[in-house]
Structure 1
Amino acid sequence: MTAAVALTEGSGAARPERRPFGPGSRMWEDTGLITFSLTAGSAFLLQTMEPSIAAVVDEHSSFRTDALGRAARSIASVMMWIYGGEEALAEADRLRTMHATLNSTDAQGVKHRALSSGPWAWVLHTAVFAFTEGNKYFSSDKLTEAEKESYYQEVVQLMRNFSVPPKEIPATYAEWLPWFEDQIENHLVPTNVAHDYLKVIRNIAPPKQIPSALRPVWRVATQPIGRLQYFCTVGTTPDSIRDRLGLEWTANDERALRVLGWVIGRLVPMLPERVRYFPIAYEARRLERDRARLRAIIDVRPI
C-alpha cells in the first residue's frame, strides 16, 4: 500500500492548503493548450469505466443528447481550475455541490455516489495519465522523470483544491504508476457508457439549434473531426483497456498516430498564443503579463 501525501481526515492533522495555480507552474503552461482535447477523450473513457462514475454518468449526464455542449462546459470548467485565480477554488466548490446530489443505483441494485472518495479522486487521476500521454505523442518537449514528478505534485495540489481525501493520493509519481496500473487492471470494467461515449465522439450529433435541413451538411462537415477525435482517443488509451472494450488498434495505426503527433508537436508551438490556447487560458496569461508589466513600472517609479 502506497504512502499518502498526508494523514487521513479525522486524524487531527491540519487540512492541506487549497491554493490556486499561477504563472511558473507546468499546469499554467500546458493545460490550456488546444492539444488538451486530444487526450481528454481517453481520460473521460477511463472515467466511464469506473463503476460508480459510469452509473452516475449513465443516469445524469447529457453527453448523449448534448455532446458539444457537454464538452464545451467540461473544457471551460477545467480551464477555470487552472486559470481562474481565486475563482478556481469557487469552481471546485461549485462542482462538489453540484455532484453532491448525483447519486444512482445500478441494475444490480448497487448504490453509487458521485462524491464517494475513490470515484471523485479517479477523475483527477485520469488527468495525470492524459497529460503524460499527451506529452508522449503530441509534444516535441518530452518530459523527464523529474518533470513528471513535479507535474504530479501539481496534480496533488489540484486534488487538495477539490478536497480529495489524502488516502486517495499516492505520495509520489513513482508510487502513482503501479497504483494506476492496478486500477486499470483490477477496478475498471467495460460499461455501456464507455461504448456509448465512443459512438458519440465518432459521430458528432448536431446541436439542437441547427435546422433539420442542414443536419446532413453538419454530419459531412464534422465527420473528419469525429474520426480524428476517435482515433486519438483509442490511440492514447491503455492496451489492456482497448482489449477489454474490443477496440482494434494496429501497428499501422500506432505509426500513424506517432507521425500525426510529431507534426502537431512541432506545429502548435508556432501558432499565435491566441490560437494555441483556449480562450480562458489565453486571457489569463495575457492578464498576468499585463500585471507583471505594471509591477515593473511601479517598482521603478520615482519616489
Structure 2
Amino acid sequence: MQDGDPGLFGPASVTWQMHADPMMWVAGVRALYLQALHPRAVGGVMQNSDFRRDAWGRLIRTARFVATTTYGTAEAAREAGARVRAIHGALTATDPATGAVYGVDEPALLLWVHCAEVESYLHVVRRSGFPLTDGQADRYIAEQRTAGAPLVGLDPREVPADRAELAAYFERVRPELAAGPEAADVDAFLRCPPVPAALLAARTALWRPLAGLAYAALPPYARELYARPAPPPDVVTRRLRTAGAVLRRIPGRLRWRLPPKHILRAMERLGPGARPSPYTLQGRVAILDGPGEGTGG
C-alpha cells in the first residue's frame, strides 16, 4: 500500500468495505423512510429546504457526504462535517404540535438521523447477502460512533456502540414516531418521484422496484405507521438477496466510475490494497479465528 492518508476509517475498517456495496443505495432510501417518521426531524428538513423540488439533490448530497467521510482524506471528511454542522446550526423549525421553535441541530434529532442511517445501512446490506459476522456488525456501529458521529456534532458517549444498544435506542424512541403529513410527502415522493419524460420508463423499471424494496425492508412498526402493506419477510429477504446478487455482479471498477469517484481516488491515494471487498473482511475473520473456525468462509 502506498503512503497516503487513509481518512477517518481506513481500509482495515468494516465501514470501508461495507460502504462500497451497491445495496447501500437501497439502504439509503430505507433510511429516508425511517427518518421521516420522526415528526421534529422531518419537520426540520421540510421547513428548511425545498424537498419536493430538490429531493434528488438531497439524495445525491447525502451520498457524497457518506462517500467523502468514508473514502476521503481525514481533512476532507472533517471539512464535510464542518459544513454540515454550520448549516444545521443556522436552521430552526416550528413544532406543529406545540408551536415551539427548535434548532435542527438538537442532539436528539441528530442522534435519530444517525441511528436511522446506521441501522438501515447495516440491515439492508447484511440481509441482502453481504457477509458480516455479528462481531463485525458491532464493529461497524462502533466505527460510526467514534468516527462518524462527531462529524455531525454528536457526542460519541451518547451514541449506541453495538447492536444491543442500537436496538435499545429504537425501543426508547418508538413512542415519539408518527406518520404525519410531512412523512406522507416523503413517502409520496419516494414512491413516484417527478422525472423528465425521457426518464419515465426508467422510473417504472428501476426506481419503483428499488423504493418498494427499501420500504418493504422497514421494521414492522414503521410499515404500520405508514399503513401500507409489504410482502412477507421471507419474500422481502429473497428479493433483497436477488437484488444484491445482481448488483454485485457489476464490476466495482464500472460502478465506481460514477461520480463522485471517491473509491477510485482512495485507491489511487493508498494503492490497490485499499480496494473494498467483502472478502477482505472474510479473510480477517479466518485469520483471527484460526484454521477451520472462521465464520466468513
Structure 1 residue 292: Cα displacement: 6.6
Aligned to 2:94: 105
Structure 1 residue 171: Cα displacement: 4.1
Q: CA–CA distance in 2 between the matches of 1:265 and 1:174?
A: 26
Q: From 218, 242, 258, give the equivalent of 1:263.
A: 242
Aligned to 1:176: 166
Specify whether residues 168 and 134 from structure 1 end up closer, same or farther in structure 2 by C-alpha distance, changes over 3 A only.
Answer: same
**One-letter code aligned to 2:245:** R
Q: CA–CA distance in 2 between the matches of 1:174 and 1:159?
A: 18
RMSD between superposed Cα atoms in Å: 2.3
- Please say if residues 204 and 223 of structure 1, whose CA atoms lie closer than 8 Å, have aligned partners that are also in contact: no
Q: TM-score, normalised by structure 1?
A: 0.79
Q: Deviations over 1:48-94 (max 9, x none)?
A: 22232121112112321122222112211211111121210110011
**One-letter code aligned to 1:114:** V
Q: CA–CA distance in 2 between the matches of 1:235 and 1:91?
A: 32
Look at both structures and tell me which one has the larger radius of gyration over its CA atoms.
1
**One-letter code aligned to 1:239:** P
1:241 is aligned to 2:207: no
Q: CA–CA distance in 2 between the matches of 1:110 and 1:270?
A: 50
- SS class of match (1:69): helix
Q: Deviations over 1:88-126 (max 9, x none)?
A: 011001100011112111333122211101101221111
Q: TM-score, normalised by structure 2?
A: 0.80
- Please say if residues 9 and 70 of structure 2, whose CA atoms lie closer than 8 Å, have aligned partners that are also in contact: yes
Q: CA–CA distance in 2 between the matches of 1:168 and 1:194?
A: 26
Aligned to 1:47: 35
**One-letter code aligned to 1:165:** D
Task: Give 1:134-149 correspondences, 5 Å limit.
Answer: 134-141=124-131, 143-149=132-138
Aligned to 1:230: 211
Q: From 141, 145, 148, give the equivalent of 1:156.
A: 145
Structure 1 portions without partners, runs of 5+: 1-18, 207-214, 294-303
1:281 is aligned to 2:262: yes
Q: Deviations over 1:23-52 (max 9, x none)?
A: 111111111332111011121122222232
Structure 2 portions without partners, runs of 5+: 1-6, 275-297
Aligned to 1:9: none
Aligned to 2:293: none
Aligned to 2:286: none
Deviates more, 1:225-234 or 1:23-32: 225-234
Q: Deviations over 1:271-291 (max 9, x none)?
A: 222234464332234224438
- SS class of match (2:153): coil
- Please say if residues 102 and 114 of structure 1, whose CA atoms lie closer than 8 Å, have aligned partners that are also in contact: yes
- Please say if residues 52 and 113 of structure 1, whose CA atoms lie closer than 8 Å, have aligned partners that are also in contact: no
**What is the count of residue pairs matched by the alignment?**
263
Q: CA–CA distance in 2 between the matches of 1:137 and 1:181?
A: 21
Percent sequence identity is 22
Runs of 4+ with >6 A deviation: none
Q: CA–CA distance in 2 between the matches of 1:126 and 1:187?
A: 14
Q: CA–CA distance in 1 between the matches of 2:152 and 2:190?
A: 28
- Please say if residues 54 and 193 of structure 1, whose CA atoms lie closer than 8 Å, have aligned partners that are also in contact: yes
Q: CA–CA distance in 2 between the matches of 1:110 and 1:82?
A: 36
Task: Give 1:157-236 correspondences, 5 Å limit.
Answer: 157=146, 158-183=148-173, 185-206=174-195, 215-236=196-217
- Please say if residues 37 and 222 of structure 2, whose CA atoms lie closer than 8 Å, have aligned partners that are also in contact: no
1:67 is aligned to 2:55: yes
1:38 is aligned to 2:26: yes
- SS class of match (1:112): strand
